[in-house]
Structure 1
Amino acid sequence: MKKIFLCCSAGMSTSMLVKKMEQAAADRGLEVEIAAIAMSGFDEAIEAYDVCLLGPQVKFKLADFQAQAAELNKKVEAIDPMSYGMMNGEKVLDQALSLLEA
């Protein structure tokens, strides 16, 4: 099972997006675990999850988090702002899955 986490400042705005991503995954019959985790929980989460997507409000941490994740051979990317703003669970799920395949 693939494990994806969305990282934002407090973990609240992304929890709505997580629900939409879970619905999109269920519609496709995909088994994924998706969580919203506050930026302060990144260190622990990157060890437990396969990939991380950052919410727009923490995009400034992208380079730091990518470097940290690279040590574990994992990927971190920023969520496309348009997909985030529209709470497009399909697109954000696709973005996470493409990182897992890359």
Structure 2
Amino acid sequence: MKIVLLCAAGMSTSMLVKKMQEAAKAKGLDADIAAYSESQLTKVAPGADVILLGPQIRFALKKVSAECEKYNVPVDVIPPADYGMMNGVKVLALAEKLAATKK
């Protein structure tokens, strides 16, 4: 499963990626998880299974969702509390739940 996290610059989100990778490894889940800046959306959307937005760019949800519709990629915003706590387990669970909705 390819999980893409989008944020403003990719700094704090890269810490969350590490936590999510640890959670995936602990579950035995084969997941490719990476963070990108929102400006790279058109490059990363076609190959993604799920796209999660950092809370700091939740204003872009409509635009990102419209772009991702072309590729049938589900999109959601990471809950601010999970993002702030760098809760890789919960954010990974959100990604898995979204991936299950993919047609």
Specify the TM-score bucket, using the shorter chain as the normaliser.
over 0.9
Please give the TM-score of this superposition, normalised by the length of structure 2: 0.95
1:79 counterpart residue number: 78
2:10 aligns to what SS in structure 1?
A: coil
CA-to-aligned-CA distance 1:27-86 (integer Å, 9 cap, x gap): 010000000101111111101211100001111000111111112111110001110010
Alignment of 1:49-68 (within 5 A): 49-68=48-67
Aligned residues: 101
Structure 1 residue ranges (4+ consecutive) displaced by more than 3 angstroms after TM superposition: none
Q: Which runs of 5+ in 2 are unaligned?
A: none
1:6 aligns to what SS in structure 2?
A: strand
1:95 counterpart residue number: 94
Please give the TM-score of this superposition, normalised by the length of structure 1: 0.96
2:47 counterpart residue number: 48
Q: Which runs of 5+ in 1 are unaligned?
A: none
2:35 aligns to what SS in structure 1?
A: strand
User: Which residue type is aligned with residue 21 of structure 2?
Assistant: E
1:22 counterpart residue number: 21
Identity of aligned residues (%): 49
